[in-house]
């Protein structure tokens, strides 16, 4: 029965009832994890968790030319950061180990040979030079490029001769020459490919390593993968894969090709080669590690990625992964590619920061401050975290807003920053003087008592709250943008606060004298 003839509800039942749900994420370790890769992994993980199945991590390292020994570690680090724990795979192992393809070579070679023996694949001795020539000739004639299947027609004797001479060969799949391959995709339904537009793709390279095409089919079968959810980039080779499954005669998994993440401007897919830029011209990171370092919460990242191409079901956009697991399914996946909505990530990250329990936020902020080279005192951190919670879009913003709490030496603000809107130097000077007197006299330096003496001062000096408190806040923090005044002084303490105010007074006096001298 065709998937298309089922209603979506029947399809869900089929999905889950057919066999135990086992999904996999199968990256090739060529560097840090791409943000699109994380999303693919996330969808696979969510689906497996929803159905109480297994999520497998498999490493597709069959390209020796792109081997990067540090990549695997980096990759696992990114997945773990995002909370995507795998049930089977590197470091965990499991019943189908090894989960690294370079350690499964013998199997691929055997199966490739089996296909050759069965007449479903053939050895190809063509050199890369000849392949190139064939391609050039075809393009020159305006034909689609591709291999001309020369070796498909070699006689057994000819093959034997070349092998005897020790000629290198690859194994190519014998794609049917006529007819159609009708593939089923859980998201797109049925697609018909004409076989005469297809290629005899390489299954086993001349170095004895399999290509993706061969390796993934073998492994998905061996590892009993029930659902293959991968990026749409694979869709064009889907008919090939379909035919390989048919050639082996195995039961196929259900396939779901996930839409690709496009640049925020919608032009082309997200790539590190051509890094996208936001409206200010800043580069938008493509690698998960940049987000890890950039002050983003994994909770926010997961939430954000889950919202692209999939929908929670009601109008909520802010949710936890536990909630997403309850609802995740294939039917609500949107087949259309989508631009990467960066501004939404900023917003969601802020929302998740605000949702964090205070001591959890403090813990994460400690990390951020320490990474910035600051020495964090617990007592201060505990008091500063609540001041930051509503002000952060990214954790790393904390350094600019509140880093001064953890710096030993204080850099006073330039005098011109002290003077607030519609004020002059003399008024500012007076405001500082009166405030110092009032604050120094306090025996209790709490938020409330500060307010009790400073608020009446505004009327006396004919200043607005914004003006008076602005002068003091800049004086005490050294910054124009900072945590609020009373809370800040409370953390700093009376002695330090007053000292800083006096410092401001001095610098202001100096600058007034200087300008008098100059004129």
Residue pair 223/250 in contact (Cβ under 8 Å)? The answer is no
Task: Count Cβ atoms below 10 Å from residue 410 Cβ, excluding itself.
Answer: 15
**Could you say whether residue 483 binds RNA (CB under 7 A)?**
yes
User: CB 439 → RNA: shortest distance, Å?
Assistant: 13
Q: In Å, what is the CA distance from 374 to each residue of 253, 367, 389, 441, 474?
A: 52, 10, 19, 32, 21
Q: Cα–Cα distance between 46 and 328 in angstroms, integer?
A: 6
What would the 3-class secondary structure string for 420-486 be?
A: CCCCCHHHHHHHHHHHHHHHHCCCCCCHHHHHHHHHHHHHHCCCCHHHHHHHHHHHHHCCCCCCCHH
Phi, psi at residue 172, to the nearest 5°?
Answer: -110, 150
- Catalytic residue, chosen from 272, 277, 279, 393, is 272
Of 125-144, which residues contact RNA (CB under 7 A)? Answer: 126-128, 131, 135, 142, 144
Cross-strand partners of 59: 100
User: Smallest distance from the beta carbon of 144 to RNA, in angstroms?
Assistant: 4
Backbone conformation region of residue 295, classed left if phi is above 0, alpha if psi is from -120 to 50, else beta? left
Burial of residue 136 (number of CB atoms within 10 Å: 0-12, 13-18, 19+) = exposed
Is the CB of 262 or the CB of 418 nearer to RNA?
262
- Give just the sign of the alpha carbon dihedral 303, 309, 313, 317: positive
* Tokens describing residue 256: 């779901």
Q: Is residue 186 a contact residue for RNA (CB under 7 A)?
A: no
Closer Cβ to RNA, 238 or 406, answer by number: 238
Residues 140, 131: Cα–Cα separation, whole Å: 14
Q: Nearest to residue 385, comparing CAs of 404, 405, 359?
A: 359
The footprint of RNA on this chain (CB under 7 A) covers a number of residues equal to 94
Stretch that binds RNA, among 63-71, 85-93, 288-296, 365-373 (CB under 7 A): 63-71
3-state secondary structure at position 172: strand
Nearer to RNA, 325 or 342 (CB): 342
* The binder of RNA chosen from 57, 112, 159, 262 (CB under 7 A): 262
Which 241-260 residues touch RNA, going by CB under 7 A? 259-260
Whether the Cβ atoms of residue 3 and residue 190 lie closer than 8 Å to each other = yes
Site residues for RNA, 380-399, by CB under 7 A, read: 390-393
Q: Which of residues 140-169 bind RNA (CB under 7 A)?
A: 142, 144-147, 168
Tell me which of 120, 205, 221, 289 binds RNA, using CB under 7 A: 205
472 in Cβ contact with 442 (< 8 Å): no
CB of 356 to RNA, least distance (A): 13
| Binder among 49, 269, 394, 500 for RNA (CB under 7 A) | 269
**Using CB under 7 A, which residues numbered 419 to 448 contact RNA?**
447
317 binds RNA (CB under 7 A): yes
List the x/- string, 214-243, binding to RNA by CB under 7 A: ------------------xxxxxx------
The site map against RNA for 9-38 (x = CB under 7 A) is: -----------------xxx----------
Q: Which stretch binds RNA (CB under 7 A): 44-52, 106-114, 194-202, 428-436?
A: 194-202
Half-sphere exposure of 45 (CA within 13 A, CB side): 23
Interface with RNA in residues 319-378 (CB under 7 A): 331-332, 334-339, 341, 343-344, 346-347, 350-351, 354
Contacting residue, 6, 8, 103, 320, with RNA by CB under 7 A: 8
**Catalytic annotation present for 344:** no
Least distance from C-beta 303 to RNA, angstroms?
Answer: 11
Strand order in the sheet with 54-57: 54-57, 22-25, 227-231, 254-258
Instruction: For the CB of residue 346, give the shortest distance to RNA in the complex, in Å.
Output: 6
- Specify the stretch interacting with RNA by CB under 7 A; choose among 46-54, 205-213, 320-328, 358-366: 205-213
Which residues participate in catalysis according to the annotation? 272
């Amino acid at each position: 029965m065709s998937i298309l003839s089922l209603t979506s509800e029947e399809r869900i039942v089929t999905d889950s009832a057919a066999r135990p749900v086992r999904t996999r994420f199968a990256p090739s370790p060529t560097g840090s994890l791409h943000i699109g890769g994380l999303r693919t992994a996330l969808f696979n993980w969510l689906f497996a968790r929803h159905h109480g199945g297994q999520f497998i991590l498999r490493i597709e390292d069959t390209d020796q030319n792109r081997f990067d020994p540090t990549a695997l570690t980096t990759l696992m680090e990114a997945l773990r950061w995002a909370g995507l724990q795998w049930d089977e795979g590197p470091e965990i192992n499991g019943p189908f180990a090894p989960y690294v393809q370079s350690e499964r070579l013998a199997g691929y070679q055997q199966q490739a040979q089996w296909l050759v023996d069965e007449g479903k694949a053939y050895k190809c001795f063509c050199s890369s030079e000849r392949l190139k020539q064939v391609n050039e000739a075809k393009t020159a004639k305006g034909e689609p490029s591709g291999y001309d299947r020369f070796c498909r027609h070699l006689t057994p004797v000819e093959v034997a001769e070349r092998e005897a001479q020790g000629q290198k060969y690859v194994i190519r799949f014998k794609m049917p020459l006529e007819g159609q391959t009708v593939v089923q995709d859980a998201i797109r339904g049925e697609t018909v490919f004409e076989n005469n537009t297809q290629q005899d793709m390489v299954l086993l390279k001349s170095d004895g390593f399999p290509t993706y095409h061969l390796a993934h089919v073998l492994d998905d079968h061996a590892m009993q993968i029930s659902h293959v959810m991968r990026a749409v980039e694979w869709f064009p080779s889907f008919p090939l894969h379909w035919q390989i499954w048919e050639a082996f005669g195995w039961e196929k998994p259900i396939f779901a090709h996930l839409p690709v993440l496009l640049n925020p401007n919608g032009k082309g897919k997200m790539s590190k080669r051509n890094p996208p830029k936001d409206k200010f011209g800043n580069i938008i990171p493509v690698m998960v590690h940049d987000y890890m370092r950039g002050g983003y919460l994994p909770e926010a990242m997961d939430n954000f990625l889950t919202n692209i191409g999939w929908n929670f079901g009601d109008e909520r956009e802010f949710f936890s992964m536990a909630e997403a697991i309850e609802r995740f399914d294939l039917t609500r996946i949107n087949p259309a590619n989508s631009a990467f909505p960066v501004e939404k990530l900023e917003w969601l990250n802020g929302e998740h920061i605000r949702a964090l329990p205070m001591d959890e936020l403090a813990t994460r902020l400690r990390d951020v401050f320490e990474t910035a080279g600051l020495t964090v005192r617990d007592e201060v951190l505990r008091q500063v975290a609540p001041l930051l919670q509503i002000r952060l879009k990214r954790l790393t913003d904390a350094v600019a807003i509140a880093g001064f709490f953890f710096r030993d030496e204080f850099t006073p603000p330039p005098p011109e920053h002290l003077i607030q809107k519609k004020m002059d130097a003399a008024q500012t000077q007076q405001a500082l003087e009166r405030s110092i007197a009032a604050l120094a006299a306090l025996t209790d330096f709490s938020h409330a008592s500060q307010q009790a003496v400073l608020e009446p001062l505004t009327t006396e000096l004919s200043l607005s709250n914004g003006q008076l408190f602005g002068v003091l806040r800049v004086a005490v923090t050294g910054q124009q943008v900072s945590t609020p005044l009373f809370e800040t002084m409370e953390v700093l303490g009376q002695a330090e606060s007053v000292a800083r105010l006096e410092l401001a007074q001095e610098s202001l006096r100096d600058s007034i004298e200087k300008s008098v001298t100059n004129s």
